[in-house]
Structure 1
Amino acid sequence: MPPKQPSIKGRGTADKIDGRFNTHQRELVEDSWFQEPENAPKTTVEIEHPKTIITRNQSPDLPFSQSINAYRGCEHGCIYCYARPSHAYLGLSPGLDFETKLTAKPDAAKLLKKELAAKNYQCSPISLGANTDPYQPIEREYQITRQILQVLSETRHPCHIVTKSSMVERDIDILQQMARQNLVRVHLSVTTLDSALSRVLEPRASAPKRRLKTIETLRAANIPVTVLIAPVIPVLTDAELENIVKAVVDAGALDVNYILLRLPLEVSPLFEQWLHTHRPDQAQHILNRIHDLRGGKNNDPRFGHRLRGEGIYADLLAQRFRSIVKKLMINTGLSPLQCDLFQPEGGQLTLF
């Protein structure tokens, strides 16, 4: 069992676990020596100037082939975040560094406009928030996501937004205009309705009640909103499934889906450490149930299995979800976003 680690208020982890590409790997051990806690780490932001901004994938598990990440790392500090291992490519820790040492791409909108204007560009919906949240706290200062949305709106390009932040309400003016032409859909991520659990599980994300209010606000502006219950954590949050679905539908969500907890690479030891720090009595029970879902391991990266798991527990969870969707008569047949309105140069809208 990993040693219990002191927590840092407002951070998902205090662990500076080494990335898998580091020359040396350090391991935390309990040696009974008293250490003065470090000052609470502040968020720092480095500026990145990439040559391109659209990332493409061919994953059969994902409903999109194009995405944009305005930031590397995420200040929300969600301990379960599957994107944490990406910080290892920067020579930084997927632990505390992931949520405190961030990278911003202020040229994103300019690059996007250039890439959309390329002669061989094929229009398909772009996902914002596929890796890190486009509305994490530093977006208030940098406003890169808003600039990206302005370009997408001008060019009539469809996009999906995945976020767990109420800051998305700031851009209602742009989203409302795009929604009128079926060019945007907001996917709000909800993990738990328990505010106390949320504070330590996803410390700098919007509180659960605030996210429900965001659904109401966006729907009042006629902006389509769906909810992703992500991740569903065995034992810790799975009992809330029915309550979450009902709460988000009552708030106005047009569709609901879920994703099981994933623990790839460095996320696995970080999550185990979090369990033994914040939920020591449940830790082994939770890990055992995860093993039931993942073939006796903490993670199963296979396409077709990584988002839903397999086995009796996965089947029961899917059955519960189908039952509540049927009971609430949720219509899952939303039409795809519009692609045939795309204008690479952002031409003027016409009335007729």
Structure 2
Amino acid sequence: MSTENYLKGRGAQQNTTNKFSEFSYETRDDFLEFCRIEGEDSDNNKTQYIPIFPKTIVNKVTSPDVGMMYSMNPYQGCEHGCIYCYARNAHEFWGYSAGLDFERKILLKKDAPELLEKKLRSKNWKATTIVLSGNTDCYQPAEKKFKITRECLKVFLKYRHPVGIITKNALILRDLDILKELAKDNLIAVNVSVTSLSEETRRILEPRTTTITKRLETIRVLSDNNVPVNAMLAPIIPGINSHEIINLAKAVSENGASSFAFTVVRLNGAIGQIFTDWIKKTLPDRAEKVLHQIQECHGGTLNDSRFGIRSRGEGKIATQIHDLVRIARHTYFKDKSLPKLNMELFEQYRNGQMKLF
């Protein structure tokens, strides 16, 4: 890895221009020289937590590729700093960059539990799985301090409403007490992201996430407590983790995962620039090879927005990935499946307590 001007503990190494803004951000050489002379840091690399106050919290998901109908995000931006994260582009809607701002300016929705309860109590709402989170990780480091996700889980339990969780943080085990109660009525499914079995790969791809050992332990503890787990082996990045598919499937299966899913990486919007800058600084010896292989999966471009294809890829390399996935499923998940969640209890608890018969 080239360490010159490299921001440790971050994924993105720059702030890309926000396409919605008339202004652009540039760190000029004369400013850097001034900081050097004055003995000051040009960038303190600290995380900011910024409260915001949305009017609603549950979002309808219209994409046919995602596999969920509704999601909610207690946080916008994510300190995990995963370099490939598709959610980076969403930060531009808030007036920030998809690069470093996404990792360092974390927007907090402290009213999320109240907004969720209001939604569940609305007359027209019918029980449908709501996923925490469709965009950024609901158990990112901010959750340890603010506990917004935990309070939302209490609302789901109160109303016996089905909920899904997507995370790559072992912090979820802090809430095992609530998860176990939800699992008793088949109201919870957890998706744990495991991108690599190499700690070095994990560290550069996802700098502020929990270790691979801790993630596999998280799958095991959840499964041992009858909380069903789907492993997200995503994204698969040619030349970085594509050779690990079989071993990844074996590891998550042995630790109790009921199923696994995957996507082929795509670098849409500003992520293409952010990823390209990152890989040339982090893995310069194979940067061009990796970028070319990603392009081969998406018709010669890093960005692919076609529904049904964008997350699967096409071409020879994508076909090889799909073949490995089929072998992995046949070998390690042949008789496994994730149970469907219970939609029947919610009507009985809609008013906050079970109806008396």
Q: TM-score range by the shorter chain?
A: over 0.9
- 1:331 Cα deviation from its structure 2 partner: 3.3
Corresponding residue of 1:245:
249
On the 8 A contact 2:75/2:108 being kept in 1, the answer is yes
Give secondary structure in 2 for the equivalent of 1:303: coil
Corresponding residue of 1:181:
185
- 1:89 Cα deviation from its structure 2 partner: 1.1
2:99 is the counterpart of 1:100: no
Q: 1:335 aligns with which of 315, 336, 339?
A: 339
Equivalent-residue separation in structure 2 for 1:27 and 1:114 (angstroms) = 43
2:150 is the counterpart of 1:151: no
Equivalent-residue separation in structure 1 for 2:355 and 2:17 (angstroms) = 51
Corresponding residue of 2:118:
114
Code of the residue aligned with 1:56 in structure 2: it is K
On the 8 A contact 2:258/2:337 being kept in 1, the answer is no
Code of the residue aligned with 2:170 in structure 1: it is S
Equivalent-residue separation in structure 2 for 1:312 and 1:50 (angstroms) = 44
2:291 is the counterpart of 1:287: yes
The range that moved more, 181-190 or 332-341, is 332-341
On the 8 A contact 1:5/1:14 being kept in 2, the answer is no
Equivalent-residue separation in structure 2 for 1:57 and 1:17 (angstroms) = 27
On the 8 A contact 1:7/1:13 being kept in 2, the answer is no
On the 8 A contact 1:158/1:339 being kept in 2, the answer is yes
Q: What's the RMSD between the two structures over aligned residues? A: 2.1
Code of the residue aligned with 1:252 in structure 2: it is G
Corresponding residue of 1:163:
167
- Give the TM-score taking structure 2 as reference length: 0.93
On the 8 A contact 1:156/1:346 being kept in 2, the answer is no
Code of the residue aligned with 1:8 in structure 2: it is L
Structural mapping, 1:52-63, within 5 Å: 52-63=56-67
Equivalent-residue separation in structure 1 for 2:301 and 2:29 (angstroms) = 25
On the 8 A contact 1:61/1:303 being kept in 2, the answer is yes
Structure 1 residues 27 and 232: CA distance shift in structure 2, 3 A: farther
- Give the TM-score taking structure 1 as reference length: 0.94
Structure 1 residues 29 and 192: CA distance shift in structure 2, 3 A: farther
- 1:23 Cα deviation from its structure 2 partner: 0.8
Structure 1 residues 326 and 5: CA distance shift in structure 2, 3 A: same
Give secondary structure in 2 for the equivalent of 1:275: helix
Structural mapping, 1:1-12, within 5 Å: 6-12=5-11
Structure 1 residues 271 and 29: CA distance shift in structure 2, 3 A: farther
Residue deviations 1:4-55, cap 9 Å, x none? 9622121112301111112134578999x86746343111111111111101
Q: 1:301 aligns with which of 297, 302, 305?
A: 305
Code of the residue aligned with 2:302 in structure 1: it is N
2:91 is the counterpart of 1:87: yes
On the 8 A contact 1:229/1:257 being kept in 2, the answer is yes
Residue deviations 1:64-104, cap 9 Å, x none? 11100000100001111100011111111111110011110
On the 8 A contact 1:68/1:126 being kept in 2, the answer is yes
On the 8 A contact 2:165/2:189 being kept in 1, the answer is yes
Corresponding residue of 1:229:
233
Code of the residue aligned with 2:69 in structure 1: it is S
Structure 1 residues 263 and 117: CA distance shift in structure 2, 3 A: same
Q: 1:74 aligns with which of 65, 78, 84?
A: 78
Structural mapping, 1:234-273, within 5 Å: 234-273=238-277
Equivalent-residue separation in structure 2 for 1:327 and 1:282 (angstroms) = 31
Give secondary structure in 1 for the equivalent of 2:114: helix
- 1:282 Cα deviation from its structure 2 partner: 0.6
Equivalent-residue separation in structure 2 for 1:154 and 1:208 (angstroms) = 33
Structure 1 residues 329 and 41: CA distance shift in structure 2, 3 A: closer
Equivalent-residue separation in structure 1 for 2:61 and 2:224 (angstroms) = 34
Structure having the higher helix fraction is: 2
Corresponding residue of 1:325:
329
Give secondary structure in 1 for the equivalent of 2:86: coil
On the 8 A contact 2:228/2:338 being kept in 1, the answer is no
- 1:276 Cα deviation from its structure 2 partner: 0.2
Give secondary structure in 2 for the equivalent of 1:83: helix
Equivalent-residue separation in structure 2 for 1:332 and 1:195 (angstroms) = 28
Equivalent-residue separation in structure 1 for 2:280 and 2:203 (angstroms) = 16
Code of the residue aligned with 1:15 in structure 2: it is Q
On the 8 A contact 2:231/2:260 being kept in 1, the answer is yes
Aligned residues: 348
On the 8 A contact 1:84/1:98 being kept in 2, the answer is yes
2:19 is the counterpart of 1:23: no
On the 8 A contact 1:21/1:91 being kept in 2, the answer is yes
Give secondary structure in 2 for the equivalent of 1:60: coil
Q: 2:197 aligns with which of 176, 193, 198?
A: 193
2:315 is the counterpart of 1:316: no
On the 8 A contact 2:10/2:208 being kept in 1, the answer is yes
Give secondary structure in 2 for the equivalent of 1:160: strand
On the 8 A contact 2:228/2:339 being kept in 1, the answer is no
